Amino acid sequence: MERSAASHRITCGKKIYKHQDSLAHKRAVKISEMKEKDVLPNKVLEVNANLMQETATSFRSAYMVAKEKMAYRKLPAVMSLQKLNGANVGNVHKSDHACAEIIGYIASEMRAKFVSKIKELGSRISITIDESTVHGLAYMIIYVRCDMTGTGEVDNVFLDIVELSEGTDAESMYKSLRKSLRQAGLDDEFLGKNLICIATDGAAVLTGRVGGLVTKLKQDFPKVQSIHCLAHRLELAVKDSLKEVAGCNQFEFFISKLYALYNQSSKNARLLQEAATGLNMQILKIGQIFTIRWVASSFRTVKAPWKTSRCDTERQKFRGLHKLLTSTGFLADLACMKDVLRELQNLSLKLQRKQTSLVDASCHIQTYRRGNKLLYPEVAIKAA
């Protein structure tokens, strides 16, 4: 019995010794080691990391498309370039629809972060709004002016652009404004404590005393003050001043006629460009009203296309333009307009700076008035 037991132990020992070198044992050991390493959870983390990297690449590319004002359909081309450069782009988030959704999500997150910051700081805010029509659709753009750093430096931040689908009357615009503010996280409680001002362009629908948007806002928030945009008031003042000076009307009529002549006719624009090339001159576009740098360059740009093959009526038109452009009266008006508009442009740009306060704006206006009196003392005497 003892010999049989010893023989059995020897046989089992040989089997165990042979088993450790067998394929089955090696596989079992490998499985045990893999179990200790948590391969499956780590694999999930690896897949998630790859997905996050692909998503980050898509988000950065879409953000670049928005920052560079590119069309959303450019995202697939940008993603292909990213792939050629070795980036991990994956197989999703490559279409123009994905680009629009990504940009919308980034905008909402940036807006939420901005609102959270000003709430945390308890910053006083003012709102600037303007209404515009694009391709037959009315929109309202909303800016917030506030201190985002806690250092007292004020900045203008774009908040939202709202389609006025319900109408452009004061009631509809006010509802759209309040809805946009609530969606951004600016609730009534915060606005009641921190909203101090609203700036508009002075349109009746916005500033009407009875039912204007500003009036409705003040009914809900009595402490709010309203400001008519100073740069816009300057433009209105210039237009009112032009109505009082008869010579300006004639000058404006001529500039508008010259603008229409070349803006509404591709043939005239082409001939003008050919004439400018032949004369080795650069064409600067003329605006509809008082954009006069192109006119100041030389009357030859009008005289040259007059020499081309045209009918008698067109020849008479260009002959009249040539005569007016070479007159001393027109050149004197042109020089006067250039001097005045240069000063007005500088004043307007100063009023539009984000650092400009009401005190600064008042100083800039007074400085302009003193300079204008020195430039044209006879005009100042008549005005007095």
Q: Of 39-48, 56-65, 281-290, 320-329, which range is least confident?
A: 281-290
Predicted confidence at residue 196, as pLDDT, reads 92
Looking only at the bridges linking them, the beta strands covering 125-134 and 195-200 are parallel
- Summarize the confidence of residues 166-180 as an average pLDDT: 90
Predicted confidence at residue 26, as pLDDT, reads 74
Predicted confidence at residue 308, as pLDDT, reads 46
| pLDDT tens digits, 292-321 | 333 333 334 434 444 444 555 666 766 777
Percent share of the chain, pLDDT over 70: 69
Contact 286, 254 (CB under 8 A): no
- Summarize the confidence of residues 35-50 as an average pLDDT: 66
- Summarize the confidence of residues 156-182 as an average pLDDT: 90
**Chain mean position to CA 206:** 23
pLDDT higher than threshold 50 for residue 268 = yes
Predicted confidence at residue 270, as pLDDT, reads 72
Lookup result for tokens 């948007």: 213
pLDDT higher than threshold 80 for residue 159 = yes
pLDDT higher than threshold 70 for residue 5 = no
- DSSP annotation of 156 reads E
SS3 label, residue 384: coil
| pLDDT, the chain, mean | 76
- Per-residue confidence at 280, pLDDT binned at 50, 70, 90? low
- DSSP letters, 118-135, are HHHHT--EEEEEEEEEET
- Summarize the confidence of residues 10-31 as an average pLDDT: 70
Predicted confidence at residue 312, as pLDDT, reads 57
Contact 210, 248 (CB under 8 A): no
Helices (H), the chain: 2-19, 23-36, 39-67, 75-84, 96-121, 170-184, 188-194, 204-207, 213-220, 230-244, 246-263, 266-278, 293-297, 300-306, 312-325, 328-352, 358-375, 377-383
Predicted confidence at residue 176, as pLDDT, reads 92
- Per-residue confidence at 140, pLDDT binned at 50, 70, 90? very high
Which of 133-142, 249-258, 372-381 shows the highest mean pLDDT? 133-142
Contact 164, 140 (CB under 8 A): yes
Predicted confidence at residue 338, as pLDDT, reads 75
Amino acid symbol at 75: L
